[in-house]
């Protein structure tokens, strides 16, 4: 109740600032006559009936368009068929009321303004004959809409639908203005408290760092000396080869030079290779001269045998001679 009164004062202040005196008077009048501060579907239904009884098609369409844009469009798509059916029924109720009161001019005006929109719907195909129909209340097509039962059912269905929709929809932004302001103030207070706490923590850290720097000044010199010693031990000056002194090691009793051994082995190997080369050269020379070492040995053996046989013959002859 207090929130609604607060918003009414804000609205009255805004109307005074803008100079909307007529609107302000209407607001004051309605506030004095109202009994309930909350929404009532009967008020919207009453506005629809007033527009229909006054044959004000523009007011009827404006009110429905406002509800459609701000309320019905926020519903689930499953309610679209019900919303469209209620709209068409409300327009038919307007036509039936105008026809019953012999306001054929308003009926013709309705189709003149709404023909472009209604001809796209098959539900309105038979209703284009309505301005030319005599005794429409007796026609099988339109008789149902003239009955009081159908009209009362339409108004009751519309009232129940609006009541249900208003209960499910969230409050408008203008109604939540006070709540949003209180929420922003609460956030500002929380931010201020966090900033103060952060400042105290920073001061404590600064004091602790100063205490640590004071106690560490004495031990800092010894730490610096140790660090200097470590640096001196690590970073020693580099020495040249001329600065390195040889070790004083006594030589062994017998000196064996490995290079000498290798040289002697090389000489023996070279001598063997020279001898082998000379043998090969001799063999090649013998082959080139037409002789053979094997055949030469055979010839030598045969010659020695012949000499022995000759000696034998000569001896035998001599012996025979003797």
* pLDDT over 50 (residue 268): yes
Helical ranges in the chain per DSSP H: 2-18, 21-33, 41-53, 57-70, 80-100, 104-118, 148-168, 177-234, 258-288, 293-321
Query: For the segment 8-59, what is each residue's pLDDT rounded down to a tens digit?
Result: 788 888 889 888 888 888 888 877 776 555 557 888 888 999 999 999 999 9
Report which listed range, 128-132, 207-211, 318-322, is most confident. Answer: 128-132
Q: What is the pLDDT of residue 5?
A: 73
For residue 122, name the pLDDT band (cuts at 50, 70, 90).
Answer: confident
DSSP 64-75: HHHHHHHTGGGS
Nearest partner of 95 among 44, 65, 139, 31, judged by Cα = 139
* pLDDT over 70 (residue 141): yes
On average, the pLDDT of the chain sits at 75
| Count of Cβ atoms closer than 10 Å to residue 290 Cβ | 7
Q: For the packed helices 258-288 and 293-321, what is the interaxial angle rounded to 10 degrees?
A: 60
* pLDDT over 70 (residue 211): yes
* Residues 6+ away with beta carbon under 8 Å from 42: 159
Lowest-confidence region among 6-10, 134-138, 285-289, 316-320: 316-320
Q: pTM, whole model, 2 decimals?
A: 0.48
Q: What is the pLDDT of residue 157?
A: 92
Report which listed range, 208-217, 219-228, 242-251, is most confident. Answer: 208-217
* pLDDT over 50 (residue 107): yes
223 vs 155, which has greater pLDDT? Answer: 155
Query: For the segment 194-203, what is each residue's pLDDT rounded down to a tens digit?
Result: 999 999 999 8
Q: What is the pLDDT of residue 121?
A: 86
* Residues 6+ away with beta carbon under 8 Å from 59: 50, 51
Token reading at 293: 């070492």
Average pLDDT value for residue range 286-310:
52
Residue with tokens 């038979």: 126
Token reading at 98: 């105008």
Average pLDDT value for residue range 303-316:
48
For residue 106, name the pLDDT band (cuts at 50, 70, 90).
Answer: very high
Q: b or e along 40-54 (b: 16 or more beta carbons within 10 Å of the residue's beta carbon)?
A: bbeebbeebeebbee
User: Are 28 and 40 contacting, i.e. CB atoms less than 8 angstroms apart?
Assistant: no
Q: For the packed helices 104-118 and 80-100, what is the interaxial angle rounded to 10 degrees?
A: 150
Q: What is the pLDDT of residue 71?
A: 81
Query: For the segment 66-87, what is each residue's pLDDT rounded down to a tens digit?
Result: 888 878 887 888 888 889 999 9
Q: What is the pLDDT of residue 288?
A: 57
Q: What is the pLDDT of residue 185?
A: 86
* pLDDT over 60 (residue 183): yes
């Amino acid at each position: 109740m207090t929130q609604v009164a607060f918003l009414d004062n804000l609205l009255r202040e805004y109307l005074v600032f803008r100079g909307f005196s007529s609107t302000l008077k209407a607001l004051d009048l309605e506030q004095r006559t109202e009994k309930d501060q909350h929404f009532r579907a009967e008020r919207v239904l009453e506005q629809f009936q007033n527009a229909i009884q006054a044959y004000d098609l523009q007011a009827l369409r404006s009110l429905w368009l406002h509800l459609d844009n701000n309320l019905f469009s926020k519903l689930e798509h499953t309610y679209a068929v019900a919303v469209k059916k209620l709209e068409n029924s409300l327009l038919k109720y307007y036509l039936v009321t105008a026809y019953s009161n012999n306001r054929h001019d308003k009926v013709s005006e309705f189709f003149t303004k709404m023909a472009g929109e209604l001809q796209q719907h098959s539900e309105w195909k038979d209703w284009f004959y309505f301005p030319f129909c005599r005794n429409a209340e007796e026609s099988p097509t339109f008789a149902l809409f003239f009955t009081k039962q159908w009209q009362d059912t339409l108004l009751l269905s519309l009232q129940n639908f609006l009541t249900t929709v208003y209960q499910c929809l969230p409050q408008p932004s203008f109604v939540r203005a006070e709540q949003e302001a209180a929420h922003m103030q609460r956030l500002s207070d929380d931010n201020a408290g966090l900033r103060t706490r952060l400042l105290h923590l920073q001061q404590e850290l600064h004091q602790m760092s100063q205490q640590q720097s004071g106690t560490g000044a004495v031990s800092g010199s010894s730490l610096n000396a140790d660090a200097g010693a470590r640096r001196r031990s690590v970073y020693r000056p580099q020495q040249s080869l001329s600065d390195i002194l040889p070790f004083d090691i006594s030589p062994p009793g017998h000196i064996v030079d490995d290079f000498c051994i290798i040289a002697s082995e090389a000489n023996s190997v070279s001598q063997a290779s020279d001898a082998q080369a000379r043998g090969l050269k001799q063999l090649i020379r013998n082959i080139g001269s037409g002789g053979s070492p094997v055949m030469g040995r055979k010839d030598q053996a045969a010659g020695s045998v012949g000499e022995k046989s000759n000696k034998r013959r000569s001896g035998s002859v001599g012996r025979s001679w003797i």
